[in-house]
Amino acid sequence: MRRLFGTDGVRGLANESLSPELALRVSAAAAQLLCRGDGRPLAVVGRDPRASGEMLEAAVIAGLTSTGTDVLSVGVLPTPAVAYLTGRYDACLGVMISASHNPMPDNGIKIFAAGGHKLPDELEDRIEALVDGGELLRPTGRGIGRVLGASGARDHGAVVPEQFSLAGTHDRYVEHLVAATGADLSGLTVVLDCAHGAAAEVGPAAFRAAGATVIAINAEPDGLNINERCGSTHLDRIQAAVPQHGADLGLALDGDADRCLAVDAAGAVVDGDAILAILAIGMQSTGALIEDTLVATVMSNLGLHLAMREAGIAVRTTAVGDRYVLEELRRGGFSLGGEQSGHVVFPDYGTTGDGILTGLRLMARMARTRRGLGDLASVLRSVPQVLINVPVSDKAAVAASREVTEAVREAELALGETGRILLRPSGTEELVRVMVEATDPVRAQHLADDLAKRVAAI
């Protein structure tokens, strides 16, 4: 059986590996498994603004309605907004059409279960089995699902959320974000890089509603420019814009706004590890950090572990992916977790990484302490880290290579207690990520370069 799902849904080149036919079957299979019970089931569907989203949205809606599921189409909204609205409207599933930080030609399908929760591996496997040859439901007549909009559809038995409209769904999400901020942001100025993505409208609206002065950049999506030399994967523009505007900080989102990286007033980057350190210490000071524990992934810098140890905060480590972070958060009842890439999860306020909420909470910490972001971030001293993305034709062959395994073992012996090495296949691209941390940056670069060459040769 092929493996459709990566670390964050189904992703691929739109209209090629991710075809409308596949999108239809994936959504129909998900609905068949997730939308059981009495009454007419409801699904929430949203997308980012990339051009192929219009095509795939039509296919997803066709797949859902073909199983008898009504669809609430909320248009262009961030991934965490779709997750939130799935729970808010008591839907049996939510579907977000987005390839997150990937280039415009790619797209993806992210599926949420009831309550807005990401799917466990076992359920993804069952969806794949249906997609690959299972029998899908095909009701007829009144049993076919309907697409709901602002005009309503109560007359044919569909459950339309009270006072539903596209503007209303956007407003509800903004209200949710402001309520979760925890402080008045008046007096703070932020440059917000929206990556020409899903947060181009609701992102600036949320920060303004929380009291901040907002300078929005890269907030004019045209379907083709999402993530194009902007957003959380290209920080040079926001690094220049923050000092230019005399802003207190900059926040860079990705295409679907489930991650956020920051820039201090001087233009220095504050990555996900530093953001987690700031937020964890802040929550600890108010008693909101459950069991004084932070959840992070294996990609987090050793410096985060050292800073948390100094602050008396334990760190639980998971595999890469915010759903694995969330699983650990739920398992232990913890209140904060995230990734170096900028995915941060607040279980009390959401079921997935939320870049806008992360930025709001970071600014709330600044407002309460009256300290600049650079000052707050100084608590973390990163160990030099080298990350090389190596294009490969077969990720499984690299993982099984005895030559690569032996090279990693030799490098780990050479580092001893002064660093660490991690090789990880990308869950969304044909890449193997080679990461080396060492107190000596020259040594880290040398070892990373050598391992990258070994991986590329497989």
If one compares 19 and 397, the residue with the highest pLDDT of the two is 19
CB 54, CB 93: distance < 8 Å: no
What domains does the chain contain, in order, with CATH numbers? 5-163 (3.40.120.10), 171-377 (3.40.120.10), 385-456 (3.30.310.50)
Q: Which residue has the tokens 């049996």?
A: 92
CB 78, CB 205: distance < 8 Å: no
Q: What pLDDT, on the 0 to 100 scale, is given for residue 257?
A: 98
pLDDT tops 70 at residue 168? yes
Tens digit of each residue's pLDDT (9 = 90 or more) over 204-225: 999 999 999 999 999 999 999 9
Residue 442 CB neighbours (<10 A): 9
What is d(CA 270, CA 378) in angstroms, rounded to the nearest whole number?
10
Q: What backbone torsions phi and psi does residue 281 show, to the nearest 5 degrees?
A: -65, -40
> Alpha helix (H) ranges present in 39-107?
52-66, 79-88
Residue 254 labelled as part of a binding site:
yes
What is d(CA 180, CA 182) in angstroms, rounded to the nearest whole number?
6
pLDDT tops 70 at residue 196? yes
Q: Which residue has the tokens 């108010």?
A: 286
Q: What is the chain's mean pLDDT, rounded? A: 92
- Beta strand 314-318 with 93-97 is unpaired
Percent of the chain with pLDDT over 70: 95
Q: What pLDDT, on the 0 to 100 scale, is given for residue 6?
A: 84
pLDDT tops 70 at residue 386? yes
Tens digit of each residue's pLDDT (9 = 90 or more) over 58-103: 999 999 999 999 999 999 999 999 999 999 999 999 999 999 999 9
Tens digit of each residue's pLDDT (9 = 90 or more) over 291-348: 999 999 988 998 899 899 999 999 999 988 888 899 999 999 999 999 999 999 999 9
- Catalytically active residues are 100
Tens digit of each residue's pLDDT (9 = 90 or more) over 120-147: 889 999 999 999 988 898 999 999 999 9
Tens digit of each residue's pLDDT (9 = 90 or more) over 225-253: 999 999 999 999 999 999 999 999 999 99
Q: Which residue has the tokens 């958060």?
A: 329
Residue 19 labelled as part of a binding site:
no
Read off the amino acid at residue 93.
L
Residue 258 labelled as part of a binding site:
yes
Tell me the pLDDT band of 385, cut-offs 50, 70 and 90. confident
